[in-house]
Amino acid sequence: MRQTSKTGKPPPRYGADMLVRLLWDPLPASWPATARKRPAGLRGLIGWARATAASVPQGDDVERRVLRGAMQAIVRDAFQQTVAEQDSEHRGPDAFAEAWKARLAAFLAQETVDLSGWGVITVAELDVDLGWSLYAAASSARADAIARAVATPSQRRAADDDPTASYAFSIVTDEEGPLGRVRYATCEHCGVGLLRKISFSPEWHCCGFGTLALRELELRHPGLTWYTTGQYEHARGFYDRFRHRSNSPWIEKHPCPHF
Ligand SMILES: [Zn+2]
C-alpha cells in the first residue's frame, strides 16, 4: 500500500488527500462549468485539479485568485463546522452532506461572512456558482470514498510471544491514503480476539467503517470470541448495536491472561 506520509511533515490525517485537494489546495483558474466537462470519478477529478492548478495562467490576477480562495474557505469552513458536530450529531453520509449543504447555504445567504484568517468577506463579491460546484465535487468525492472503502489485508506486527499475535490493517479507497487504521491481537490458546484500537479522523466518523472493521475481524479469524477494552466506553452504543448481530460479547472484560 502506498504511503502518503512525507518525511518532515506531521503525520497525515487519515484519508485527507482527496478532500484537501478540493478544499485546501489552490484552486485552478477555472472550474469546469458542467459536470460533463469534468473528468469522471474521484481519481480523474483529482488528477485534473492537480494538473490545472499547476498551470495557472499568467493573466489570472490576484484579486480573482483571492476571491476564489475566499469562496473555497467558506465551503471548507462549512465542512469543518459540520465535522465538529459529529460527536453530538452522529450523522451518516447522506445526513452529513445535507447538513454541510445547509450550512453553506446559510453562509451564502448572509451579506458578509467573517472567517478567521480571512476577515470579513462580502458574499456579493464571490462566485457563488464556484462555491456550489466545489461543494458538489467535494461532497461526491467523500461519498465515493465511503462507498468504495475496503479493508487491506491484516499485517502481523510485533514478534509476540506465543500464543498471541498482533495485527493491523487499514480502511482505504483506491490509492488514497488510509481512511482509518485498526489494531488488534489474537490468542489462539484461549480462542480470544482483542480489538485494541480503531482510529478514524473526525472527517470519517459515522461512515460505517467501524462496522466494516468489526465484520472483517470476525471474518478473518472465525471461531475467536472478540472483546475490546474499557477505553471504548464512549463508543458503547456502537458495540451494543453490533453485538446483536455477532456471537462475540465485545466490550466485556476478556478472560485471556496472555496479552
Ligand atoms: Zn490467551
Residues whose CB falls within 8 Å of the CB of residue 3, separated by 6 or more in sequence, listed in order? 177
Determine the pLDDT at residue 84: 94
- Distance between CA atoms of residues 104 and 97, nearest Å: 11
pLDDT digits (tens, 9 = 90+) for 156-176: 987 767 789 999 999 998 766
Determine the pLDDT at residue 67: 85
DSSP state of 245: T
CA 112 to ligand 1 centroid distance, Å: 62
Write out the three cell numbers for 172.
482505504
Determine the pLDDT at residue 112: 93
Q: What is the identity of the amino acid at 9? A: K
Residues near ion ligand 1 (CB < 5 Å) are: 187, 189-190, 256, 258
Which residues on adjacent β-strands are paired with residue 119?
Answer: 115
CATH 3.40.630.30 is the classification of domain 151-243: yes
CA 42 to ligand 1 centroid distance, Å: 44
- Distance between CA atoms of residues 193 and 60, nearest Å: 58
CA 193 to ligand 1 centroid distance, Å: 9
CA 48 to ligand 1 centroid distance, Å: 52
For the chain, domain boundaries: 16-148, 151-243
Determine the pLDDT at residue 23: 85
Residue ranges in the chain modelled with pLDDT below 50: 1-15, 33-36, 40-42
DSSP state of 14: T
Determine the pLDDT at residue 55: 59
The radius of gyration of the chain's CA atoms, rounded to the nearest angstrom, is 22
pLDDT digits (tens, 9 = 90+) for 95-143: 999 999 999 999 999 999 998 888 888 999 999 999 999 999 899 888 8
